[in-house]
Amino acid sequence: MARTRITFLKPFTTHVFNPLARRFAGWLPWFGILSYPGRTSGKTYRTPLNVFRHGDTYVVALTYGSDVDWVKNVIAAGGADLRTRGRDVRLVEPELFTDPSRRLMPLPVRIVLRLDAVNEFLRMRIA
């Protein structure tokens, strides 16, 4: 797993930002709430994140790398449900990939991801 420059923020994001973001992330462009089951518990988790649509897929920049629980859970489940812009979408076929050019991201996001050394992404197809 490649560490990013912002990995140190993960505890703050998990315990402070995410609970707040769950209130608005399902309604805004470039945001969403991903719902998926835990690998061992089966409990449903809801993770707010930045998502970007490309045709019949959505792409997520893995700002803390691919070795995080939510990514492992989504891959183990074979997909997840996404709420974005007030709509619910079923996503399947999770695929991890690396892209140092960050070409699938909008320009402002691409710049921030480059500064944070983010090269890993998760792509899922709309079911």
Tell me if 91 is assigned to some domain.
Answer: yes
Q: In this predicted model, which residue has the larger pLDDT, 2 or 27?
A: 27
The stretch 27-34 carries a mean pLDDT of 91
CATH number at residue 65: 2.30.110.10
The mean per-residue pLDDT over the stretch 41-60 comes to 95
Whole-number pLDDT of residue 22: 78
Least confident of 18-22, 47-51, 104-108, 115-119: 18-22
* CB distance 71 to 96 below 8 Å: yes
Q: Which of 122, 114, 123 is nearest to 4 (CA)?
A: 114
Instruction: Look up the domain containing 26 and give its range.
Output: 7-126
Instruction: Report yes or no on 2 lying in a domain.
Output: no
Residue 1 lies in a domain: no
Encoded tokens for 56: 């019949």
Q: 21 or 66, which is more confident?
A: 66
pTM (two decimals):
0.84
Pairing of strands 120-126, 87-98: antiparallel
Mean pLDDT for all residues in the chain: 89
